[in-house]
Structure 1
Amino acid sequence: MAKTSIVSLVILFLSLASSDDSVHSLLRDHGLPAGLLPKTVHSFSLEPSTGLLAVQLHGPCIAQYERSPVRFDQEINANLTFGSLKGVKGLTQEELFLWLPIKEILVTDPKSGVILFDIGMAHKQLSVSIFENPPDCKEDGGPELRTAAGFQEQR
């Protein structure tokens, strides 16, 4: 009986302890680069029957990918399938001084080295290598912090 309780506690602890590496490994296992999510992941859950991925960060933040800042809400949701995140909620990307929602992320051909972002009115193709490693993410405290962090204030 005691042996069963210890095993149950260990299994429970391991299932509750979500680390940054776990969600980043999950992305890699699904044909996506780990750097699509920042290092500041607090926890995540995946509903196996629907593929619904819910990721919680410590707070909203902004990460810089080459010349494009991306804003992460405190909670990010998407349907995860192999090579794609569809119905993304909680991600916006700055394009021409406007913050546009990222709706879908696709890696259709891993050999091509290209990742596709659907930002509503346009599709943007970037090199997958930009997203290989999870980026640092600066706290998003509004326009003042964005300007102080080197990002232009939205007007």
Structure 2
Amino acid sequence: MAEKEGAIVKKGHEEGLKMAVSLLEEFGLPMGLLPLADVIEVGFVKNTGYMWIQQNKKIEHKFKMISKMVSYDTEINGYIDKKRIKKLKGVKAKELMLWPPVNEMTVDDPPTGKIQFKSLAGITKTFPVEAFAAGQ
């Protein structure tokens, strides 16, 4: 795929997870935003910000602090930038009985301690950033 051209790619869970976490850190995003298990591959294209993560199975993770269930598909991709990920695919957050796809995440800048999630349907939800800290 053309969008993967010139990418840095890490294979395997340990290396892949390390890279995913360091990307979140580098772009000022909460470290617990992507609770991954069984990573196959993580890639990042520095020129465009395109990143992808492949994992063996879909994961559902509950962020306890905000009682929010989030589903992470076997392939997650999007464009990572300072304090945001846009055109995100493979992440859904449970709203009542529905699982609308999340297509953008933005940490407020200047920092207010808040992070916003936008769905394709135009729904925006705001939560405290610390809800997505590592270990949550």
TM-score, reference length from structure 1: 0.72
Equivalent residue letter for 1:122: I
CA contact (8 A) 1:61 1:72 kept: yes
Shift of 1:134: 5.1
Distance 2:92 2:110 in 1: 24
Shift of 1:16: 5.0
- The 1:89–1:26 alpha-carbon spacing in structure 2 relative to 1, beyond 3 Å, is same
Which of the two has greater strand per residue? 2
1:86-97 maps to which residues of 2 (within 5 A)?
Answer: 86-97=86-97
Distance 1:94 1:130 in 2: 16
SS in 2 for 1:125: strand
SS in 2 for 1:36: coil
What does residue 29 of structure 1 align with?
26
Bigger CA radius of gyration = 1
What does residue 46 of structure 2 align with?
48
Distance 2:26 2:51 in 1: 14
1:11-90 maps to which residues of 2 (within 5 A)?
Answer: 18-40=15-37, 42=39, 43-66=41-64, 67-90=67-90
What does residue 5 of structure 2 align with?
none
Q: Which runs of 5+ in 1 are unaligned?
A: 1-14, 136-155
What does residue 107 of structure 1 align with?
107
What does residue 147 of structure 1 align with?
none
Aligned length, in residue pairs: 122
SS in 2 for 1:63: strand
Aligned-residue sequence identity (percent) comes to: 30
Shift of 1:41: 5.3
Shift of 1:40: 1.1
CA contact (8 A) 1:41 1:55 kept: no
Which of the two has greater helix per residue? 1
Runs of 4+ deviating beyond 4 Å: none
TM-score, reference length from structure 2: 0.81
CA contact (8 A) 2:11 2:42 kept: no
Distance 1:39 1:113 in 2: 23
Shift of 1:19: 3.7
Distance 1:63 1:22 in 2: 20
Shift of 1:21: 2.6
Q: Which runs of 5+ in 2 are unaligned?
A: 1-9
